[in-house]
Amino acid sequence: MSSAHPQCAAEIVDLRSDTVTLPTDAMFEAMRSAPLGDDSRDGDPTVRALEQKAADLAGKTAALFVPSGTMGNLLAMLAHGGRGGEVFSDAGAHLFNSEIGSVVTVAGLVPRPIPSHRGAMQEEPLAQAISATASAGRPRPALIWMETTHNGAGGAVLPLAHMARVHALGRSNGIAVHVDGARLFNAAVALGGSAQQIAAHADSLMFCVSKGLSAPIGSLLVGDAALIAQARAFRRFIGGNMRQAGVIAAAGLVALNSMIARLRDDHEAAQRLARGLAWLDPALAEPGHVQTNILRIDTSGSAQSAAEWASRLKAHDILVQASGASQLRLVTHRHIDRAAVERTLAAFAAVAPKA
Ligand SMILES: Cc1ncc(COP(=O)(O)O)c(C=O)c1O
């Protein structure tokens, strides 16, 4: 764990999420020396610099700094409007499963899950759902929602051609498209392309600097100036206004300036883990499905529940997340080096039920 911050318990291999990454020394330094101001009064210069950088990277005209990805997604829904209408996404979307129902209770949208494959909505059922919704007696279509990389689908990356077709479908029906790009740069690195190429197929997009990019806090919502002005007003409305937020934006700037290219190391570590686990038991992992830094491990073929696997791995100082009865989620990040991968594989071998 050579890259771990000194405060990180060195003996623990924490694969529960890439959100456990600690700020780098460069981030701490930038936070200490950042020019600051009252962001909701005269503006905080470091926040403004981060928002400009985010907009530039995504090829959009404006950006808004928010404390979390969940808030960025919520503000997108509020800013696009369409209260009472339907939001189309795949059933496994983070929005539908892990954002505490804000889609319904705060944004006032009706979830319309669309059959999907590895996080990508099937286009024909999507088109049919939009025309059905547009008919009398159903809520009107409000928003199309894509997620890349896709958390529930094991870090799957949406193909750009698929995103382009979904965006075109939205445009031809007058429906805005939002992309939950919490791990946007993992998707860009995996595609060998740029964030801009992905964001080109979105009217708004949220990405996080607090995950694999190692900043302690923060996400950005990008879009055109009018949409972001709306989102800025809604941020105040839900109590998300911040003051000298440059302290945290400074770390976000370091993340965007210097932490993107190294994400490929995390993808390589995930591949090594997937190959090692598949060697141990081909039912556990499918290396061909691991495109980025998330592995979904299928434990259904074993007599142990996912929770039992997690607790037995924990006894070996390996932390993983049990997700449902028969799935483990492992996420690689900056603190998972080669030695950590080897220790994880050894622990899996030790706890795997013997045939
Ligand atoms: C795909 C996706 N969207 C949104 C979020 C929410 O981000 P946050 O935890 O910063 O609210 C997450 C968090 O893991 C995520 O994986």
pLDDT in tens, 119-150: 999 999 999 999 997 777 889 999 999 999 99
Asked whether residue 265 carries a pLDDT value surpassing 90, the answer given is yes
Q: Are strands 176-180 and 141-147 parallel, antiparallel or unpaired?
A: parallel
CA of 114 to the centre of ligand 1 (A): 20
Assign 37 a pLDDT band (cuts: 50, 70, 90). Answer: very high
The arithmetic mean of pLDDT across residues 47-54, rounded, is: 98
CA of 182 to the centre of ligand 1 (A): 6
Contacts of 101 (CB under 8 A, 6+ apart): none
State the pLDDT at residue 354: 77
CA of 184 to the centre of ligand 1 (A): 11
State the pLDDT at residue 216: 98
d(CA 62, CA 51): 7
- The C-alpha angle with vertex 230 and arms to 225 and 233, in degrees rounded to 5, equals 125
Ligand 1: atom nearest CA of 219 is 10
Assign 10 a pLDDT band (cuts: 50, 70, 90). Answer: low
What residue's CA is closest to ligand 1, atom 16?
A: 151
Over residues 298-341, the pLDDT tens digits come to 999 988 999 999 999 999 999 999 999 999 999 999 999 999 99
Best probe residue, ligand 1, of 75, 94, 292, 331 (max atoms within 8 Å of C-beta): 94
Ligand 1: atom nearest CA of 150 is 1
CA of 155 to the centre of ligand 1 (A): 12
In 3D space, the residue among 263, 149, 253, 261 whose CA is nearest the CA of residue 198 turns out to be 149
Rounded CA Rg of the chain: 21
CA of 69 to the centre of ligand 1 (A): 5
Residue list, ligand 1 pocket, CB within 6 Å: 68-70, 73, 94, 147, 151, 180, 182, 208, 210, 219
Over residues 202-258, the pLDDT tens digits come to 999 999 999 999 999 999 999 999 999 999 999 999 999 999 999 999 999 999 999
Tokens of 292: 């980025």
CA of 322 to the centre of ligand 1 (A): 17
CA of 281 to the centre of ligand 1 (A): 30
Q: If you average pLDDT over every residue of the chain, what do you get?
A: 95
d(CA 30, CA 150): 31
Ligand 1: atom nearest CA of 19 is 14
Ligand 1: atom nearest CA of 147 is 1
The arithmetic mean of pLDDT across residues 91-101, rounded, is: 96
Helices (H) then strands (E): counts for the chain: 14, 14
What residue's CA is closest to ligand 1, atom 7?
A: 69
Architecture of domain 34-259: 3-Layer(aba) Sandwich (3.40)
Ligand 1: atom nearest CA of 149 is 1
CA of 127 to the centre of ligand 1 (A): 27
Over residues 62-79, the pLDDT tens digits come to 999 999 999 999 999 999
Asked whether residue 6 carries a pLDDT value surpassing 80, the answer given is no
- The torsion region of residue 112 among left (phi > 0), alpha (psi -120 to 50) and beta comes to beta
Ligand 1: atom nearest CA of 210 is 10
Identify the three-state secondary structure at position 263. Answer: helix
Residue-range domain boundaries for the chain: 13-19+262-351, 34-259
Tokens of 187: 């998707």
State the pLDDT at residue 355: 65
Asked whether residue 342 carries a pLDDT value surpassing 80, the answer given is yes
Which of these CATH numbers, 3.30.70.1350, 3.30.230.10, 3.90.1150.10, 3.30.200.20, describes 13-19+262-351?
Answer: 3.90.1150.10
d(CA 212, CA 330): 13
